[in-house]
Structure 1
Amino acid sequence: MRIILSYVIFTVLFAVQSSAASVVKLSTQHSYQRIGRLCGWYMDKDARLTLNDVIQPAFQPNFQPYEHDMRSYGITNAAIWIHATYSSKERTYLVAEFANIDSIFLYYFDSGRLKTIVSGSHLPLKNKRFRVPGFSFELPASNGQPKEFWVRVRSGNAVIIPLALTTPEGLQRSFMGLFVIELVYAGVVLALFAYNLFLFISLGTRNYLYYLCYLICFVGFVLFYLRGFHVFLGQKLSYFINMNGISFVAVTYMFAILFSVSFLDGKKHAPRLRKALFVLIGLLWIPVIFNLAGYRPGAIKILELCSFLLPFAFIYMAIKALKQRYRPARYFLAAWSVLLVSMMLFATANTGLLPFLPFSFWTFYILPIASAVEMSLLSLALGSHYTEMKREKIAMQEAMLAEVEKEVTERTKQLKESNHVKDKMLGIISHDLRKPLNNLSGLLDLVELKALSAGEIQDFSLTVRQNIKHITGTMNNMLNWSLSQMNRIETRPQKIILYPFILQIIETYWYSTDQKNIHLKADIPEGIVVLADFNQLNLIVRNLLDNAIKFTPKGGMILVGCRTAAKTVELYVQDNGIGMHPQEVERLLSENSFYSTEGTEEEKGTGLGLQLCKEFIVRNGGILEVKTAPGEGAEFSFCVPRV
């Protein structure tokens, strides 16, 4: 009764002041009107006022006008009261075009009786007159006379109140306004999802998997929570999404971090930031827990902070990647820049931080539009990444092909060189062996004809023995060289007492040195032990002695000695023979060179022995070195490990 009496008093006063009031007039030409700027607004911070309080004439000055069609109060526990007057000859509907409002009370008087209609996201869906996102209430026709109503709104989500009055004809326009942008948005997202799902199935890379998960979660948040499409999913699921839908943001950010770190190679471009983002993934479970525990305002505030920080982190990582010339990062940078600007505008308008940036319908739709642009740019980034991968793969294949061609060319060259060396070797060996074999054949013919005396046979036998020794040495060198070319020779180091080893070799050269009256001696201290392959070291020393005898004139001297160090022993063969020019030394030591000249007594050679010496010295851990000058003799030396 008190409310009705207060209403009668208010009606009388309203009739006196009706010229100052804003009346929403609906007609055939104006069947749909947003009424935010035509209403009076009041925030009841303690949420204690009742309808009887707000309809008192003394309270009316507290209702303040607003300059825009939609009003936002951010996250607040206050109750928002709206007072408006309308005039219509038809049935009229009040539409709240936002789905996440916990409770809405509509009050109006009809034929002197107070009517109260309750709605909100907490009520069963069957109580809604139209099962669409948002809330709608039927108001009585006013028969062309001004008629008032009051609305009380309260919500645990961000309090956004877009109100419109419409006739039955304009109601369709209201529903179309709720669906058109969202359907376009859903179509864009569906196309992006199908395209990137195909790429994920084709390539199987984690980038596309993380992007698809990010896409699903973000779209779930925008369509089913922010835009209220959860009303089509049934009562239980609709209620759950309305109460806990803010958790979609946390999960969305988790996949956004995984996608960004993977796509931009955070381990390479921003390792410290990558570690911080992985820590943040764990911290993002905190708002999820807050939300499930019923503390939605706390969860929303944490996620609003993340909404500012994460884009900056992603933009920083993209800039770092761009500096490393990772071109797909351009689209990534543009995508998160667009989303960051939209989030800042949305949050700033929602909280009213900047008076010149009010919350309006363009602000209301900026997040879905910006997210569609962002996802399109991210899809372009993935496409650019795919193109980059193909380009790198082609470049790698071309490089591999070039490497194979280079290797084939090199091996062909080596094969030609090897064939050339073998041909040269056969020519040298056949020429080198012809004279000794002819001498041996001639001697046998003379012996068979009994044309030689016993003394002549004795003299010839010495020559034949020297020829056979030369042939044997050449054949041994040839055998070892062919085995080394086929990698059939294994080096087996063992301990060798150097003094008896060298003496035993020197004793086999008494005939050769005696023929040229060469003095051959050794300067090897007793007790020195080296680590080398016995047979290979034997061949090295013998070939160096052969060369020294060959190029030392009659009456010359050859010295086989060593110089000791802490871990090595340097063996050398020194003579006072004819020596060599630097060009000859260079040619002698070059790879695959079978360089040979005649000795002081026109001795022939193949150059094969020195090649074997170089290879076996390397196998035993040393390098062949030559010190010589024309007319001053030569010294060939190499090092072996000391035990």
Structure 2
Amino acid sequence: MIRNALILFVFLIKSLYWMQSSAAEQGARLLVNKVYSYPDRAGNLTVDDIVSLPQNQFRLNKGQVFNGGTKGDIWWLKIVYENPGNASAYLVFGYGNVDYLDIYYKNTQNKWVHIRSGTFGDYSSRAILSTEFIHKLPDLSTAAGNNIYVKAKSVNTLILPVKMESEEALTSILINKYIKEGLCIGIATFIFFINIFMYSLTRRKEYIYYLLRVVFLFYLYEVLYFNAYSALIGDKFHQFILIYAQAFVALGFIFSIRFNNLFLNLKTNLPQAKKFFDVITFFWVALFCLTVIGDNRYFTNTFTHILLLVTSLAILISSFYIIIRKNYKSGDNFIGLYVLGWLPIPLSCTYVVLALKGVFELEENSIKMLLIASILEGVFISLALIGNNIKMLNKGKLEAELRNYQLVKERNQFLEEKIKERTHELQTSNDFKNKLISIISHDLRSPLSSLNLTLQLAYKLEASQLSKMLDNIRKNTETVRTTIDSLLNWAVQQMNMEKSHPELIEVESFINEQINVYRELMTFKDLSFSIVYSDSFKIFVDKGQLALVIRNLIDNAIKFTPQNGSIDVIISGSEQKVQFAICNTGNAISNDTIDRILNSNEVLGESYGTLREKGVGLGLQLCKESLRNMGSELFIEGISENSIEKTVFSFEIQRMKS
């Protein structure tokens, strides 16, 4: 970092040396021996009053650059030159932002010649259209005396580099001046368009704020105002730039603060600095308002210089703090370039302002220092922005790779879970099929074998024995029938042989139709039966699947209801749903059995009713699957109240919307 700063300093010195005129040009110049100055506090002195002043009233200026300060005072200059004894000369004031210039010299008749010049003066008095005030003087060898008097006034900043040039030297000087300054402006413009291109690629707000900073501070303030290139466009435009120069500075630093806040992320990295810059921004906004409402340069000039120094140094200090605190140890060199970018402008501005206040001697090259400093800033800040973009792109690439890795990992995990889930389903299906084979081999084969043996012995039995045997046959055939019904229904669902065919059903007639199948069984077991309807309902549902559920639940209730027990079918509903509940007396179903039925896809296995009616547990699994297909689910509850035990199976079906 220190090495880079030293390189920057050496480059700045070398650039200033390059901006100076060549030795040949210096030799071609006429000699301005001395420049004296006298303040006109009241502003009412004439040239005759100045000439009559004793010499000790004047202050001898150090060098050929007169520094009139920033208070807007009127000054008289007494220029003493060496009479060349031959050709005419040009009087050159090397700073093009002076409000008024009145030039006086005596001709051969010893009479005063008055030239009105300056930004608000007579443009036609200029010998050459330039960024400087250039006036052709008569043949100095015939002029009366070797003194020229100049009355100067500037509200902004009064700087007058005083030179007298021969025609030969002036041409060479102007050509070199515009080549060197044009090259600097061209480099800055090239950097400007690189940043525009980078913004078009990245769309980052930092580029917008930095580009606006360059427009207001470099092009409008430094090029058009400070280096007076607005004079080449026209007198009215030049006057406009001169009056509102401080407004351009204010806008430039408002955007600079915004750019610095975003680039350094001060809101997170340095909140105290963010608050400080908010206060500074308020003062810049106030300065801008004072400038645009009228020509208030008398009040805003010093205020501008103070804010300029404070803001520039604050940006530089905040950059140093962030690089030391956050990024130095992490090896981020881009923030180092950013700090280097902020060094030239604060250093050069500090030097120029202090020189204007008389702390340092003001040289002509001090003015050109800002131009070189702006180019250095543009180079380093642009490199910092580009480097930061590369860092963010790399970071984004890494984040994208991590996201892709995470997506692949999640996808693999999802596939593994699916494989496990499918494996479990296949295992469950395989177990179910094994159970099914066991049911077929045991629950169908045994009753049929028993039935076959009974029929073979039937003709040998007596009447009383035959009657008992027929009762056993009835039980066996009923078991076989129930098992076959369940197996067929399951087979239809598993093989997807039956698709859902919803239709409009009137609930009361549908329930009665299902109950009629079981009335003989209920009569055989002396069971009381009731159906309770809270209203007449219509539902839109698959009739076959609903019938399967109702029949299995009623069959299950008959099986586990003791003789002289009761079965109640309760149909109730709301505006959205119809609830079906099948309730039977007898031993209340246990919680363990409920859990096994509802939370397992396995067949429960053999079970026996109150009259030893045999079941295989397949019916309830069919009920669950059918209800799931209809968008419902099965609920089971065991109730024990006042020595009365009940079991309730229930489910809900969406009601038909009118």
TM-score range, shorter chain: 0.5 to 0.7
Per-residue deviation, residues 162-191 of structure 1 (Å, max 9, x unmatched): 111222222134424643442122111210
Counterpart of 1:169, as a letter, is E
Q: In 2, are the aligned partners of 1:133 and 1:178 still within 8 Å (CA)?
A: no
Q: Could you tell me how far 1:204 is from its partner in structure 2?
A: 4.0
Per-residue deviation, residues 321-368 of structure 1 (Å, max 9, x unmatched): 66566965544443334322222222111122xx3x222233212222
Distance 1:282 1:451, change over 3 A: farther
User: Tell me, what secondary structure is at the counterpart of 2:307?
Assistant: helix
Aligned partners of 1:175, 1:440: CA distance in 2, in Å? 118
Per-residue deviation, residues 568-624 of structure 1 (Å, max 9, x unmatched): xxxxx567x9xxxxxxx9xx9xx9x989999999x9999x98xx99xx9xx99xxxx
Aligned partners of 1:388, 1:138: CA distance in 2, in Å? 58
1:97 corresponds to which of 94, 97, 114: 94
Corresponding position of 2:447: 443
Aligned partners of 1:254, 1:197: CA distance in 2, in Å? 20
Per-residue deviation, residues 205-250 of structure 1 (Å, max 9, x unmatched): 4433333332222212111111111121123223322333333222
Of 68-77 and 437-446, more deviation after overlay is shown by: 437-446
1:129 corresponds to which of 104, 120, 127: 127
2:46 corresponds to which of 42, 45, 50: 50
Corresponding position of 2:37: 41
Counterpart of 2:418, as a letter, is L
Per-residue deviation, residues 292-344 of structure 1 (Å, max 9, x unmatched): x2222223233223313333554466568665669655444433343222222
Q: Could you tell me how far 1:507 is from its partner in structure 2?
A: 10
Corresponding position of 1:580: none
Distance 1:281 1:302, change over 3 A: closer
Q: In 2, are the aligned partners of 1:72 and 1:160 still within 8 Å (CA)?
A: yes
Counterpart of 1:53, as a letter, is D
Counterpart of 1:301, as a letter, is T
Q: In 2, are the aligned partners of 1:39 and 1:83 still within 8 Å (CA)?
A: yes
User: Tell me, what secondary structure is at the counterpart of 2:27?
Assistant: coil
Q: In 2, are the aligned partners of 1:182 and 1:223 still within 8 Å (CA)?
A: no
Corresponding position of 1:420: 423
Distance 1:80 1:407, change over 3 A: same
Of 403-412 and 322-331, more deviation after overlay is shown by: 322-331
Q: In 2, are the aligned partners of 1:93 and 1:137 still within 8 Å (CA)?
A: yes
Q: In 2, are the aligned partners of 1:101 and 1:153 still within 8 Å (CA)?
A: yes
Q: Are 2:165 and 1:170 aligned?
A: no
Q: How do residues 462-481 of structure 1 correspond to structure 2 at under 5 angstroms?
A: 464=480
Q: Could you tell me how far 1:158 is from its partner in structure 2?
A: 0.5
Q: Could you tell me how far 1:426 is from its partner in structure 2?
A: 1.9
Counterpart of 1:163, as a letter, is V
Counterpart of 1:187, as a letter, is G
Q: How do residues 180-579 of structure 1 correspond to structure 2 at under 5 angstroms?
A: 180-218=179-217, 219-265=219-265, 270=271, 272=275, 276=279, 279=282, 282-290=285-293, 293-315=294-316, 318=319, 329-352=335-358, 355=359, 357-438=360-441, 439-441=443-445, 443-444=447-448, 447=451, 450-451=455-456, 454-458=470-474, 460-461=476-477, 464=480, 573=590
Counterpart of 1:244, as a letter, is Y
Aligned partners of 1:65, 1:146: CA distance in 2, in Å? 19
Aligned partners of 2:384, 2:75: CA distance in 1, in Å? 44
CA RMSD of aligned residues (A): 5.6
Counterpart of 1:107, as a letter, is Y
Counterpart of 1:115, as a letter, is V
Q: Could you tell me how far 1:431 is from its partner in structure 2?
A: 0.5
Aligned partners of 2:30, 2:326: CA distance in 1, in Å? 54
Distance 1:400 1:39, change over 3 A: same
For structure 2, the 5+ residue unaligned runs are: 1-22, 459-469, 500-531, 533-551, 563-576, 609-614, 633-658
Distance 1:203 1:416, change over 3 A: same
Q: Could you tell me how far 1:154 is from its partner in structure 2?
A: 1.6
Aligned partners of 2:209, 2:336: CA distance in 1, in Å? 19
Distance 1:346 1:316, change over 3 A: same
User: Tell me, what secondary structure is at the counterpart of 1:39?
Assistant: strand
Counterpart of 1:295, as a letter, is N
Aligned partners of 1:386, 1:308: CA distance in 2, in Å? 30
Q: In 1, are the aligned partners of 2:107 and 2:144 still within 8 Å (CA)?
A: no
Corresponding position of 1:546: none
Distance 1:44 1:274, change over 3 A: closer
Aligned partners of 2:297, 2:49: CA distance in 1, in Å? 29
User: Tell me, what secondary structure is at the counterpart of 2:134?
Assistant: strand
Aligned partners of 1:457, 1:479: CA distance in 2, in Å? 32
Counterpart of 1:126, as a letter, is S
Aligned partners of 2:112, 2:320: CA distance in 1, in Å? 62
Q: Could you tell me how far 1:138 is from its partner in structure 2?
A: 3.3
Q: In 1, are the aligned partners of 2:337 and 2:384 still within 8 Å (CA)?
A: yes
Corresponding position of 2:61: 66
Per-residue deviation, residues 19-46 of structure 1 (Å, max 9, x unmatched): xxxxxxx9998322685x8322333333
For structure 1, the 5+ residue unaligned runs are: 1-25, 484-499, 518-532, 543-556, 561-572, 578-584, 621-643
Aligned partners of 2:616, 2:357: CA distance in 1, in Å? 103
Distance 1:275 1:299, change over 3 A: closer
Distance 1:273 1:93, change over 3 A: same
Distance 1:321 1:513, change over 3 A: farther
Q: Could you tell me how far 1:197 is from its partner in structure 2?
A: 2.2
Q: In 2, are the aligned partners of 1:103 and 1:155 still within 8 Å (CA)?
A: yes
Q: In 2, are the aligned partners of 1:85 and 1:148 still within 8 Å (CA)?
A: yes
Counterpart of 2:342, as a letter, is W
Aligned partners of 1:312, 1:469: CA distance in 2, in Å? 93
Aligned partners of 1:34, 1:417: CA distance in 2, in Å? 99
Corresponding position of 1:153: 152
How many aligned positions are there? 536
Corresponding position of 1:494: none
Q: What TM-score results when the alignment is normalised by the length of structure 1?
A: 0.66
Distance 1:471 1:511, change over 3 A: farther
Distance 1:189 1:447, change over 3 A: same
Q: Could you tell me how far 1:68 is from its partner in structure 2?
A: 3.3
Identity %: 18
Q: Are 2:89 and 1:87 aligned?
A: no
Q: Could you tell me how far 1:60 is from its partner in structure 2?
A: 0.2
Q: Could you tell me how far 1:203 is from its partner in structure 2?
A: 4.0
Q: In 2, are the aligned partners of 1:266 and 1:274 still within 8 Å (CA)?
A: no
Q: In 2, are the aligned partners of 1:436 and 1:464 still within 8 Å (CA)?
A: no
Counterpart of 1:443, as a letter, is P
Q: In 2, are the aligned partners of 1:45 and 1:77 still within 8 Å (CA)?
A: no
Q: What TM-score results when the alignment is normalised by the length of structure 2?
A: 0.65
User: Tell me, what secondary structure is at the counterpart of 1:142?
Assistant: helix
Counterpart of 1:457, as a letter, is I
Corresponding position of 2:7: none
Distance 1:510 1:130, change over 3 A: closer
Q: In 1, are the aligned partners of 2:247 and 2:287 still within 8 Å (CA)?
A: no
Counterpart of 1:252, as a letter, is G
Q: In 1, are the aligned partners of 2:99 and 2:118 still within 8 Å (CA)?
A: yes
Q: Could you tell me how far 1:160 is from its partner in structure 2?
A: 0.7
